[in-house]
Amino acid sequence: MGGTASSRHDGAMDNAVPLAELRNITVDYGPERVLDDVSFRLIPGEVHSLMGENGAGKSTLIKVLTGALKPSAGAIVVDGDRVVFGSPADALRRGISPVYQEIDLLPNLSVAENIFIGREPRKHGRIDWEQMRIRAAAQLADLGLTVEPSTLLGAHPVATQQLVAIARAISADVRILVLDEPTSSLDTDEVAELFRVIKELKQRGVAIVFISHFLDQVYEISDRITVLRDGRFVGEYLTNELLRVDLVAQMLGRELGATAVVRADIDVEDEALPVLEGDDLVTHGGLRGVSASLMAGEVLGVAGLRGSGRTALARAIAGIDRLEGGEVRLGGDKVNLANPRRALAEGIVYSSENRRVEGIIGELSVAENITLALQAQQGAVRRLTPARARELALSWIEALDIRPADPDRRAGDLSGGNQQKVMLARLLALAPRVVVLDEPTRGIDIGAKVEVQRLVGELADDGLAVMFISAELEEVLRSSHRVAILRDKKVVDILPSQALTIDTLLALVARPDDVED
């Protein structure tokens, strides 16, 4: 790419010819209309952000564009031709390449194959594995990723898998790249790499659909923004002509007001006895001597980079990973958390970062999902009556404002934010003492996010001890009383959140390892 090459696609041009257009798309799921007369257009060399709250219809619109879903009405126009996509393969042939929000790759195959499967390089009619490895390595290097292409994808962390998914999407002869929450599991450096690649693709005239709940990223990368609300088209704007406040107001359909700030600045009494204490915890490959304590009525934030031991700490406390050293005390007494069941019996509940894999059972109803853990704890003999289960579910649906407020709905049909609330309801139904939340707001929208953050605060107000783990430092700082900073599988410091700012926290979390030991 020549350094002097001035792009013709620098700014958004309203008279530019779109590469693809979705015209007046309507989608019905049974009796319910999830998209109503929505239009969306993609201009070569532009990043077009699709914004909206959970359930606004972004994912549905994306599925229409990528051929995964057939609209009930409306037209898809690519290069001026009206097209009908029967399957994702049809869309791929038109150069429309998606990266879905939940990572949809094949953990049982190699990294290289995940990038190329379906369009493998071939020689004499057979797959050329050597060529595939070489090209995969180049592709990965392009994304700043140093993984051996022949290793199994499943052996890599979620963030790497996410980048592999992106590598797959752009390795094709891509003309339209669809990125649905691509940055939710990436750290700052990885996001920078991704944005560099996006900019290169723009130069090549690729049109990019970008969906993210990080407003900063949206404003940094996109040229154009389309806002959806409740399945309807609200408007299309040029990014530099739309103020953030206005964007959020458009998305929510109301002024932000008080919902934006959740400040948990109530002091925890100094002499309060810790509910839970971890002392010098060591787990296999996860923690290297971590000590932390959790008071009743307190939210303890856990901040750290990916791989710093954030999740490992949660897993140790939840009894998932066995302790190789150290001890956990509950109310002063040493407990042996040999397995998650024991931890549950002690009143420790854990919400994992992989809610799709480890949490929500999509095939079961919302009510069943909520009462699942409670029923399991009671045992099969003391069955919850259906009426009791329903009543319980309804009370949680109301308390957490789960939408749609229908206990019989398939949990898999709910939006990400609402699934997260169902998870929370399930845990809270157990009447726990300690709640461990790992990335409870990952992949959900600002509106839902603020609600979850507020819920976390309320839990602590009700006297629970809450551990709140998040990759978003701002969120950690805002929601927690104290923040435990993890680096390199150890606790660096535990500080009251008032004593921290984003910048100081960032410095603590990300201090480069200039001091060798």
Partner 1 sequence: MTTQTSLAQPSRIAAVEAATQKFFVRHSAMLPTLAAVVILMLLFAGAELLLKGDFITPRNISALVLDNAYLLVLAVGMTFVILTAGIDLSVGSVMAFTGILGAKLLGDGLPPIVAIPAMLLGGAAIGLLIGILVQYFHVQPFIASLAGLFLGRGLAYVVSLSSIRVEDSATLWLQSTRFRLGEWYITPTGIIALLTVAVAAFVLHYTRFGRTIYAIGGNEQSAKLMGLRVASATVTAYVISGLCGGLAGLLLTAYSGAGYPRNGIGTELDAIAAVVIGGTLLTGGRGYVVGSMVGVFVYGTIKTIISFMGAEQSWMQIIVGALLLLFIVVQRLIVARSGAKS
Q: Which CB atom, from 71 or from 301, has the smaller least distance to partner 1?
A: 71
Query: Number of residues in contact with partner 1, rule: CB under 8 A?
Result: 30
β-strand partners of 20: 42, 78
**For every residue of 194-236, which 3-state class applies, written as one string?**
HHHHHHHHHHCCCEEEEECCCHHHHHHHCCEEEEEECCEEEEE
Assess 120 for contact with partner 1 (CB under 8 A). Answer: yes
Two tokens, residue 402: 């789960």
Assess 496 for contact with partner 1 (CB under 8 A). Answer: no
Contact of 414 with 32, CB cutoff 8 Å: no
Assess 130 for contact with partner 1 (CB under 8 A). Answer: no
Provide the minimum distance between the beta carbon of 362 and partner 1 in the complex, in angstroms, as a whole number.
11
Q: Looking at 17, 73, 79, 107, which residue binds partner 1 (CB under 8 A)?
A: 107
Question: Rounded to 5 degrees, what angle do the CA atoms 424, 425, 426 make?
Answer: 90
Assess 362 for contact with partner 1 (CB under 8 A). Answer: no
Q: Looking at 17, 73, 84, 89, which residue binds partner 1 (CB under 8 A)?
A: 89
State the binding string over 161-200 for partner 1 (x if CB under 8 A, else -): x------x--------------------------------
Contact of 106 with 156, CB cutoff 8 Å: no
Q: Looking at 84, 141, 155, 502, which residue binds partner 1 (CB under 8 A)?
A: 155
Distance of CA 300 to the CA centre of its chain: 21
Assess 108 for contact with partner 1 (CB under 8 A). Answer: yes
Q: Looking at 39, 150, 203, 377, which residue binds partner 1 (CB under 8 A)?
A: 150
Helix 386-400 crosses helix 366-378 at what angle (to 10 degrees)?
120
Q: Which residues contact 118 (CB under 8 A, 6 or more apart)?
A: 89, 92
Binders of partner 1 among 14-73, rule CB under 8 A?
Answer: 68
Assess 361 for contact with partner 1 (CB under 8 A). Answer: no
Q: Which CB atom, from 111 or from 330, has the smaller least distance to partner 1?
A: 111
Assess 154 for contact with partner 1 (CB under 8 A). Answer: yes
| Residue whose token pair is 């339209």 | 176
Taking contact as CB under 8 A, which single stretch among the options 138-146, 149-157, 176-184, 439-447 is the one that binds partner 1?
149-157
Contact of 277 with 293, CB cutoff 8 Å: yes
What's the CA gap between 398 and 453, in Å, rounded?
A: 17
Q: Which CB atom, from 9 or from 156, has the smaller least distance to partner 1?
A: 156
Q: Looking at 28, 104, 269, 398, which residue binds partner 1 (CB under 8 A)?
A: 104
Assess 84 for contact with partner 1 (CB under 8 A). Answer: no
Contact of 498 with 477, CB cutoff 8 Å: no
Torsion 352-355-358-359 (CA) sign: positive
The residue ranges that bind partner 1 (CB under 8 A) are 68, 87-89, 92, 98, 100, 104-109, 113, 117-118, 120, 126-127, 148, 150-152, 154-158, 161, 168
